[in-house]
Structure 1
Amino acid sequence: MSVWDGLTGQADAVAALRAAAEAPEGSGSMTHSWLITGPPGSGRSNVALAFAAALVGDGPDDDRALMQVTARTHPDVAVLSTQRVIITIDEIRSLVTGSHYAPSVGRHRVVIVEDADRMTERTSNLLLKALEEPPERTVWILCAPSEADLIPTIRSRVRSVRLRVPDVASVADLIVARTGVDRTLAVDAARQAQSHIGMAQRLATSAEARDRRRRTLETVLAVRSVGDAVVAAADLLAVADEDAKAITQEKDAEERDAALRSLGVEPGGTVPPALRGQLRGLEEDQKRRATRSLRDGLDRILVDVMSLYRDLLLLGLGAPVEPVNASMQADLDRALASVPPASALEVLDAVALARDRIAANVAALLALEALMVTIARAVR
């Protein structure tokens, strides 16, 4: 099995990274800093991990290196996956310090920063210094949605590799191979997730996730008045909260149990006062993760709403394109009578504005209410 297996729809990116990893030293194909860009769900982190495994392993077929890198246990690979809304300067400072150590078992020391677009300017400038004077055998791999999400001085010091949005069939094939679900279900999930691999897998394997998504779209289609808009906004926020809890609660419980075991506390036992500070730190991290998970859940809801009005726009214009929400064709046909193309465009603009507002820390309920009111006014 090659470290590059399982990277769906990214043949060009894999070819470039593979050539760099396998090139002789001094050939010029390899550089000390890389930027992997692509839309959410395109597999940026997976590509970065595969590249890291190729750099620290004994070749593209080194399964052991890939397993260690994927499990975050390889001694020469550091991965920053922040649970916060932003990456803190202390997190980057720790990575920079570690980047100066020589590799212990591999050819390179690799440092991966997922969601590098979450760095503030001050944090970015600290990383910039590390990229300007890198240790000889250290390789930095940054991941972000686009080059524009990083400051220009960092962009000028990295080699960019752009990922594509994989097609629905490729994502469905990957989900079937990973989970064994029915292919029809996998295709529907991949289409509804708009080829977002992680979300598609979740929709294919979780009936609750599929039900929450359908409830979201039905709630939006039912909005006819300002009163409906206010109620719908509260309902969507509740759905996002429910979805976020479904993702984080199980992981939180596992982390707490593991922490208690490492501290020598029996399940259900009382935590000694001297150890409560360590658990408090874990709980604070979990709260930050819950905040980010809720924000991500809200954005997923807005992307789903955007897909709904994109379908109505294209159907209203008679475009020969299969709807993202083909499983709701009857609902779409009924909605066409009250949502002409001009109204669909107006709602799409409002959804984009709501996403920007939530990203800028506007109260989520207010942003959703404004969006729902726009939808109520746009419906004929």
Structure 2
Amino acid sequence: MSVWDSIVGQKPVTDQLCAIAAGDPKAIAQSWLICGPPGSGRSNVARAFAAALESPDHGLNDEPTKVTRQVLAGTHPDVTSLATDKVTIGIAEVRELIGVSEQMPGTAPWRIIIIEDVDRMLERTTNVLLKEIEEPAEHTIWLLCAPSAQDVLPTIRSRTRIVNLAVPSDRAVANFLMNTVNPSLPDEKRFNEHVAARAARLAEGHIGVARLYATDERVMSDRDELVVGVLNLARASDAVLLAGRLIDNAKGQADDDVNRQAAAAEAEFRRVNGLGEKDRIPTSLRGAYNQIAKKDELKRRATRRSRDVLDRALNSVASIYRDVAVLQNNAEDSVGLVNLENRTAITELSVRLTREGAVRRLDDIATARRRLAGNGNPLLLFEALFCALIPR
């Protein structure tokens, strides 16, 4: 399988980048901006492009080279990635990257720097990066990722070659789940084509969310409960109860996820250091081990994961009113419904609401998203939102 086969629903883009990677090195742009909506795979495209640029076979062979495997695993010494789970990317992090970018590559043709979510930079941080993007070191390529070109300052935009990704189709995402995700799971965790198709439809083109829906029954059932709860809103008390359940479910999902990651990190630490599952941690390794299990760090990660779950919940709620608008405009045959399992209730809601009412509720959801991003109180935020969604 070539490096490009792991990219979902982006064949025109991958064909273009494949040809560029295999072409004249002197003709390759050194600053790129890869744009696509959340879940479209922009970071994966950046890594695949980096692998194709660095590998002698340009990522085309069915059997990946050592270089390709290293780049995709994040262990190649000449490819550096910056991702963050913070609200913004800091100046210190960018300055460190700039220092790395000015070094000659050690083993590969290029020194490649990947920055995920470059839109999370404040203007003063972007200004630090600007000169390097405008005049990169001779052997350096910058691959920046953002939701859209409009999310990046014009000074950066104008100095990069822009690649725009499409939203992957439901069919492409379902095929990815069946052909790539399913074979990697233990037999008891594998899913069927119906689950893959439903997960792809509900994820609305977000590959990571589709994988989550297909592989985690709790996440899928929490979504189902949320959609039914929104469709049954009739009183303020319903809104308060639904908001409370949503916050509890988000915390539960986040804690499960963080605990799984912590357990995996501990297991890897023990493996690397030749320790059994129940062996005591030697005093000489205690400091390094404690870094894995820092309570403050785990709490921060759980809070971040909880916000991610709530943001995903807003997408699910928005899909209800998207479906309402589709039915009100007789567009089901052309664009389909997301929440097919709830078609009867959504049809009834589309009759009860005016078109203006459906649009107003989508605006209310967008407002809630901005407040959540601004660290608003999640419980109060969702109580207010669900009250606003009650049909009048």
Name the TM-score, length of structure 1 as normaliser.
0.91
**Does 2:309 align with 1:297?**
yes
CA distance in 2, matches of 1:326, 1:252: 37
Q: Give the letter for the 1:103 counterpart.
A: P
Matching residue of 1:2 = 2
Any idea what SS the aligned residue of 1:4 has? helix
CA distance in 2, matches of 1:11, 1:264: 44
Moved more, 68-77 or 326-335: 326-335
Pairwise CA distance, 1:196 = 0.8
Contact 1:233/1:365 (8 A) holds in 2: yes
Pairwise CA distance, 1:257 = 4.1
CA distance in 2, matches of 1:287, 1:129: 37
Moved more, 314-323 or 64-73: 314-323
Counting matched residue pairs gives 376
Matching residue of 2:321 = 309
Matching residue of 2:12 = 12
Any idea what SS the aligned residue of 1:139 has? strand
Give ranges in structure 1 of 5+ residues lacking alignment.
Answer: none
**Does 2:229 align with 1:215?**
no
Any idea what SS the aligned residue of 2:145 has? strand
Cα 1:274/1:209, change in 2 over 3 Å:
closer
CA distance in 1, matches of 2:9, 2:288: 46
CA distance in 2, matches of 1:146, 1:287: 31
Q: Give the letter for the 1:39 counterpart.
A: P
Pairwise CA distance, 1:25 = 3.0
Moved more, 174-183 or 101-110: 174-183
**Does 2:73 align with 1:74?**
no
Pairwise CA distance, 1:235 = 1.6
CA distance in 1, matches of 2:143, 2:201: 30
Moved more, 325-334 or 192-201: 325-334
Any idea what SS the aligned residue of 2:37 has? coil
Pairwise CA distance, 1:237 = 1.6
**Does 2:83 align with 1:47?**
no
CA distance in 2, matches of 1:271, 1:123: 42
Q: Give deviations 1:116-142, integer Å, cap 9, x for gaps.
A: 112222222222232233211111101
Q: Give deviations 1:181-235, integer Å, cap 9, x for gaps.
A: 3222211111110011111122122222210110111121222122222222222
Listed as ranges, the matches of 1:111-190 within 5 Å are 111-178=113-180, 179=182, 181-190=191-200
Q: Give deviations 1:3-52, integer Å, cap 9, x for gaps.
A: 211222212221332222122133x3x11111100001111111111100
Q: Give deviations 1:307-361, integer Å, cap 9, x for gaps.
A: 0111122223332342101122233244445444332222111001101111122
Contact 1:84/1:289 (8 A) holds in 2: no
Any idea what SS the aligned residue of 2:99 has? helix
Pairwise CA distance, 1:248 = 2.2
Contact 2:54/2:109 (8 A) holds in 1: yes
Cα 1:51/1:348, change in 2 over 3 Å:
same
Any idea what SS the aligned residue of 1:48 has? helix
Pairwise CA distance, 1:265 = 7.6
CA distance in 2, matches of 1:155, 1:281: 38
CA distance in 2, matches of 1:143, 1:311: 30
CA distance in 1, matches of 2:385, 2:168: 30
Name the TM-score, length of structure 2 as normaliser.
0.88
Pairwise CA distance, 1:270 = 6.3
Matching residue of 2:263 = 253
CA RMSD of superposed structures (Å): 2.3
